[in-house]
């Protein structure tokens, strides 16, 4: 149970999910009727994201993507995020829209736990200089561009050579990201509060083809060798170009996302099993 129930809320809704705005308005009206402070805004609203530190709790209305974006905002401001699922899958968003009233009543009473999710810090380096840094809650992906040819990714761990992947790309994933792109590429599922992270190659050709689990204190550096376009992306956002000999240096971030949970820790495995059972081929006779 939380020590102090939240009194101030900021709700972030997805502007392309029609029902999210109406639900945000309804929830704000409900919270204000209870004497609490609440406002709603689009997850694209930069000014609202900047005000996140003034809230006690953030509420994400959307799917896993909205939860990820709100989770990053919460992590930068050390604020927990409560998610209401309006998406298709809901691996990390726990509460369904038809049960939001009961869920919020529990939150207002402090009847919840906070689940910490590690993040990754990535540096894009070129000619020995750092161009920009990024924070990832799901994954950092280095991949080929529009040209359908593999790229070479010289990869080190703590400065020691690991391998040169000849592949479509490489996924560097957190435990949160282990149920996303990394899972689709054949990676293992990590417990949500684990501090380990993953290296998962994408369609490797005659090179190391097994996922690798790395310890919390590891630093990975990926040097790109390519004669055509290569790109990288953070949490599935807009891809950014990489030039030949650019590198990405990745290690665990100092920021930690906090997800509000109303269920026991074992719910993660039940949720995972339920999602896997939705596979339309799972129950077919062999």
Work out whether strand 57-62 and strand 8-13 pair parallel, antiparallel, or are unpaired: parallel
Distance CA 156, CA 160 (A): 5
CB count in 10 Å sphere of residue 161: 9
Nearest to 123 by CA among 240, 44, 201: 240
One of 3, 44, 56, 64 is an active-site residue; which one? 64
Half-sphere exposure of residue 141: CA atoms within 13 angstroms, side-chain side = 22
Nearest to 138 by CA among 184, 88, 89, 172: 172
Q: Is 64 a catalytic residue?
A: yes
Distance CA 112, CA 106 (A): 7
The distance from CA 267 to its chain's CA centroid, rounded to whole angstroms, is 18
Tokens of 281: 């081929």
Length of the chain: 286
With vertex at residue 150, the alpha carbon angle to CA 159 and CA 171, rounded to the nearest 5 degrees, is: 50
- The set of catalytic residues is 64
């Amino acid at each position: 149970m939380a020590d102090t129930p939240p009194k101030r809320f900021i709700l972030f809704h997805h502007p392309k999910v029609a029902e999210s705005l109406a639900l945000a308005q309804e929830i704000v009206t409900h919270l204000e009727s209870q004497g609490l402070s609440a406002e709603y805004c689009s997850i694209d609203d930069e000014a609202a994201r900047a005000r996140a530190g003034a809230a006690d709790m953030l509420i994400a209305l959307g799917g896993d993507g909205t939860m990820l974006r709100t989770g990053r905002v919460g992590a930068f401001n050390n604020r927990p995020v409560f998610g209401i699922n309006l998406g298709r899958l809901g691996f990390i968003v726990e509460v369904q829209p038809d049960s939001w009233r009961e869920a919020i009543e529990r939150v207002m009473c402090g009847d919840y736990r906070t689940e910490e999710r590690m993040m990754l810090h990535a540096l894009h380096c070129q000619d020995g200089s750092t161009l920009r840094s990024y924070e990832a809650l799901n994954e950092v992906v280095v991949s080929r561009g529009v040209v359908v040819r593999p790229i070479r990714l010289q990869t080190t761990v703590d400065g020691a050579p690991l391998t040169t992947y000849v592949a479509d790309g490489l996924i560097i994933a957190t435990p949160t990201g282990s149920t996303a792109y990394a899972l689709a590429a054949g990676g293992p599922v990590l417990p949500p509060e684990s501090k380990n992270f993953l290296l998962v190659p994408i369609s490797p050709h005659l090179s190391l083809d097994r996922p690798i689990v790395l310890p919390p204190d590891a630093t990975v550096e990926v040097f790109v060798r390519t004669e055509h376009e290569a790109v990288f992306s953070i949490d599935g956002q807009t891809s950014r170009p990489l030039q030949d000999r650019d590198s990405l240096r990745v290690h665990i971030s100092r920021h930690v996302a906090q997800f509000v949970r109303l269920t026991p820790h074992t719910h993660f495995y039940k949720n995972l099993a339920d999602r896997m059972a939705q596979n339309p081929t799972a129950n077919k006779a062999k």
